[in-house]
Structure 1
Amino acid sequence: MNDSVYARLLGQIGVCEDADALRGLRGQIHEHMEALLSERTVEQFYIGLNEVHDAFIKRAIVLSEAQMARMGYGPPPVLYAYVLFGSGGREEQTMSSDQDSGIVYEDSEDTAQKENVSGYFRRFSDHVVKLLKHLGYPPCDGNVISSNPEWCQPLSGWGSKLEVWYKEPDWERVRYLLIVADCRMIYGDAGVMASFRNQFNAGLKENPDIIRNMLNNTMRHKMLVGIFGQLLKEPYGEDAGSLDVKYGAYIPMVNAIRLMSITSGVMETSTLARLQGLLANKELTEREAAVYKDTFRLFLRIRLMATERYEGGLYTNNGKLAGRKMTRELTDQLKAALRQGRKLQRRIYKETISRF
């Protein structure tokens, strides 16, 4: 992003030593990003915005490592990877973002060392999560976060966990597998991350029937367009007349493209990169890929428009686009895009049922 103010603020994040100063920087850079929204393409804007989120998260990790050393725990005892899930893993975070994260670390050589290593990462993850919370990143509502011991494990622990998820695939375990499918390392050792990825991919190959279970989870959220092409808006309450963009447009598209990518061996995690991978694998024609990319870009843009309130110095987003923001032109675009999304969902359902 060719922007001197953006570059200066981003550089300050990387050297800032104070938590309060970091929080102040987040407010400054988000205000600057909001001013750029109308000047950038949606992809350019998301690239810049997610670069900002990454910078804050990386800085929180670095400062937490330093704090652990000052407290007498030393540096990390083994190599590790700090990973993001959800929109962070897909590099699709909006102005507001929560924490969906985990830690994968190397196994220890001896039993006595194992407890010391796990103790280090428990304390370390607590520091990271608390610092990011101070910066305005609330913990994930579903507790998918590095400070939860279930999501902070050695490679062997992750291997055992993945095996159970694959072998006993109830709804929640399949949901966890789909969460892991979106993971991206933001800081740490690439070798540890590669081993983690290999465990996940090996489980897919050994349990091909899991795709049917994934299909059930994938189809949970439907495109909010009726059989006559009308938008299915919120009928009651304070959000009456709004459209649930997150769960009625964005998430169904993410889910559909993710499952199609999993079955096709596409390794990318961002939705647009997955679409490009599906095109390269000849799972989509050039026209299909172009249509679905344009559809998803519209959903990304509307997600940003759903950012409504500014609370405690930071943005919040309930994922719902207020009716007053829906112009005739935007409404027509949404209807067409949602019909394309519904068409994609039907295609994936038919293809998955026939292949698995």
Structure 2
Amino acid sequence: MKNTIAERVADFLKDYPPFQFLSSSSLLKISGEVQVLYYEKDKPIFKEREKNTGVFYVVKDGAVRLYRTENQEPKIVDICDEGDLFGLRPLITKEDYELSASANEETILYGIPIELFLPIALEHKEVSNFLIASFASNVQDPYSLEESGKLFTEYSVERNSEIFDLQKAKYSKNILTCTPDTLIKVAASKMSHRNVGSIIVTEENKPKGIITNKDLRDKIATGAFQISDSVTKIMTRPVRCFHKDPTIAQAQLIMLKNDISHLCITEDGTPDSDLLGLITEHDIVVSFANNPVVLMKEVKLAKRTKRLRNVRLKVSQLLKKYLSQNLPLSQILNILNEINYAITVRVIELALKKMDVSPPCKFAWLALGSQGRKEQLLLTDQDHAIVFENVAPEDYEATQNYFIKLARHITRALHKIGYDYCPADMMASNPRWCQSLQEWKNQYDIWIKDPTPESQLLSAIFFDYSYVYGDTELVTSLSDNILDTLDQNNMFYRVMAKDAIRSPSPLGFFRQFLVEEDGEHKDFFDIKSRALMPLIDAARVLSLHHKLRNINNTAARFERLAEIETNNKEIYESCSYAFKALLKFRTKQGILHGDSGRFIELATLSKAEKLKLKRCFKPIQDIQEILTVRYQLK
């Protein structure tokens, strides 16, 4: 007799990772054990520091907010909606929940027992790969921006455009072994002589136990056992085994799940068959030849632009992989922007070596626009500027010419790497955007005190700058001057706010998508101007009003605003989530169609994708209402 409920569950799950990688029979088996759970709005699902329930969740309908408590206040770190998976990491690592989860609206969840899912997952390479990506890219919380310094781990890698952790794991066949009656001191001497960290205890070539340096430290050095005892006294048993030819992801997942650093390879994957080899944690690390850390080192060692271009191509491959694994956008942005900034720094260093003389004075290179906001994922055009130290009037022209020449070297190199020249020439090679500190101050004063349509357009780019290279004091001085000038010209906030609400609404009266009415992109949806820019513009004006420093990323700006204006906390947090979801969606579309992802053909989207897009539009209306009231725009 057919299980119609299981079939309906399977029909839903098959469209989402990692279930899309499962065979029909495996998926139906899991679906037959799924718990269908209903939660009213704000009802908790689990809480921080609670023991995990042995079940992870997939959102069927509705939405779930994940948050942590800071200073007795909840801080949202992500919102999961249809098809999103959460609550998995604590089950794999056998830890308590690090985040709380509750229904953001009326929600239906599918609860999946990990004990049923994990054995099936280990038999599917793509699923193993997904599980690694879902929790191993970050040692603490995979959603938190504050963890960006811990994102460069051994677990995220791309090699020659292949998904490297789906390749076979290399293992040592020259294994150090001993028999059960061997004395501990003899086994330790063998390990020392071979300079290895483990020895396998075998009987008739079948693994019976393992001794590692940790065993010698914890059991011998402490005096718990004597070196004259046999190895059976301190060996760990039974040993964890796997059949031959595991993938890197499978080997790594087993080590993480069982908290071990050595994995025996046997004929049939059990301790009852012949020992074939040994995989160590070190072997896994060595296998990752092109992880983000290695790419950063490659950038620093690069002597030519061609090598930097190769790194940037690998970054593009990493982006595709991270998106396919559904990693949180905050992770992706942090990893890729660190590498992109390192590439720019190296380009500047190489360009300086091409100059005949050293710089005549201190200077700083500024990234503008999306790169300045650290939101650049796809290769786009260049937007940058140079600010140099004030010099005597008679030296100004020669100083500016020096830095324009330097900028031309840099822009040419960036173009070779893959960044197009800016069509509007908003680059440091343009004398207008290569000026002394005082000239830049004068320029911003004009924009703020006497706003024009051109200055409003430029403010969307030049008020989102970030330091890349050179003297930080120049940038600090420029920022101080901008904030001081804004203090004396509050009407400029109103001008910026009015511009921020001018962007067309994403939806019509009947909640249909508003599309382009004519031109090359007729009937396409402009996700940049109708969805992303209203959030970017709103975050900018509110951040300037609150004098937020060194926070240029739109999502991060909203998160900081949520801390400052607690009465609007929910709206700001929703804006942060919506922006990340929209940017991720645009990036995926750009990769899929080989363009910027700005214009979307709605007919190509699934019902679920359209629903996710529409969920992101409500915060746009809310934030524009805040701007309208605060700056009296009506």
TM-score between both structures, scaled by the size of structure 1: 0.90
- For 1:249 and 1:48, the matched residues in 2 are separated by 25
Please state if 1:100 is matched with 2:386: no
User: Which deviates the most, 182-191 or 326-335?
Assistant: 326-335
Deviations 1:162-206 (A, max 9, x none): 222223211111332342221101111110110111121121012
Alignment of 1:204-219 (within 5 A): 204-219=486-501
Checking the alignment, whether the CA contact within 8 Å between 2:466 and 2:552 is kept in structure 1 is yes
Checking the alignment, whether the CA contact within 8 Å between 1:99 and 1:140 is kept in structure 2 is yes
- For 1:159 and 1:289, the matched residues in 2 are separated by 31
Match for residue 15 of structure 1?
Answer: 301
Please state if 1:302 is matched with 2:585: yes
Cα distance change of structure 1 residues 149 and 284 upon mapping to structure 2, 3 Å threshold: farther
Match for residue 44 of structure 1?
Answer: 331
Please state if 1:147 is matched with 2:429: yes
- For 2:431 and 2:422, the matched residues in 1 are separated by 14
Please state if 1:221 is matched with 2:503: yes
More strand by share: 2
Q: State the secondary structure of the residue aligned to 1:187.
A: strand
Match for residue 483 of structure 2?
Answer: 201
Deviations 1:86-135 (A, max 9, x none): 11111000222221110111011x33432321121111111111111111
- For 1:167 and 1:253, the matched residues in 2 are separated by 24
Match for residue 452 of structure 2?
Answer: 170
Unaligned residue ranges in structure 2 (runs of 5+): 1-150, 157-287
Find the partner of 1:341 among 611, 616, 620: 620
Match for residue 30 of structure 1?
Answer: 316
Q: State the secondary structure of the residue aligned to 2:614.
A: helix
Please state if 1:269 is matched with 2:552: yes
Deviations 1:309-337 (A, max 9, x none): 78xxxx64151233354211121121121
- For 1:182 and 1:203, the matched residues in 2 are separated by 16
Checking the alignment, whether the CA contact within 8 Å between 1:229 and 1:339 is kept in structure 2 is no
Checking the alignment, whether the CA contact within 8 Å between 1:26 and 1:135 is kept in structure 2 is yes
**Counterpart residue type for residue 295 of structure 2:** L
C-alpha displacement of 1:250: 0.9
- For 2:519 and 2:482, the matched residues in 1 are separated by 42
C-alpha displacement of 1:242: 3.2
**Counterpart residue type for residue 415 of structure 2:** K
**Counterpart residue type for residue 34 of structure 1:** K
Cα distance change of structure 1 residues 333 and 145 upon mapping to structure 2, 3 Å threshold: same
User: Which deviates the most, 165-174 or 56-65?
Assistant: 165-174
Deviations 1:203-246 (A, max 9, x none): 10121111222123222322311122111134556645432111
Match for residue 128 of structure 1?
Answer: 410
Deviations 1:147-174 (A, max 9, x none): 1111110011112212222232111113
More helix by share: 1
Higher-Rg structure is 2
Checking the alignment, whether the CA contact within 8 Å between 1:223 and 1:252 is kept in structure 2 is no
Match for residue 58 of structure 1?
Answer: 345
Match for residue 168 of structure 2?
Answer: none
Checking the alignment, whether the CA contact within 8 Å between 2:315 and 2:336 is kept in structure 1 is no
Give the ranges of 4+ consecutive aligned residues of structure 1 lying more than 3 Å apart after TM superposition. Answer: 234-242, 283-286
Checking the alignment, whether the CA contact within 8 Å between 2:367 and 2:384 is kept in structure 1 is yes
Checking the alignment, whether the CA contact within 8 Å between 1:302 and 1:321 is kept in structure 2 is no
- For 1:338 and 1:59, the matched residues in 2 are separated by 39
Match for residue 529 of structure 2?
Answer: 247
C-alpha displacement of 1:255: 0.7
**Counterpart residue type for residue 349 of structure 1:** T
User: Which deviates the most, 158-167 or 186-195?
Assistant: 158-167
Q: State the secondary structure of the residue aligned to 1:23.
A: helix
Cα distance change of structure 1 residues 287 and 111 upon mapping to structure 2, 3 Å threshold: closer
C-alpha displacement of 1:299: 0.9
Match for residue 233 of structure 1?
Answer: 515
The two structures, once aligned, show a CA RMSD in angstroms of 2.1
Find the partner of 2:441 among 140, 154, 159: 159
Match for residue 282 of structure 1?
Answer: 565
- For 1:212 and 1:246, the matched residues in 2 are separated by 23
Structure with higher RCO (Cα < 8 A, 6+ apart): 1
- For 1:218 and 1:351, the matched residues in 2 are separated by 13
**Counterpart residue type for residue 436 of structure 2:** P
Alignment of 1:311-350 (within 5 A): 316-350=595-629
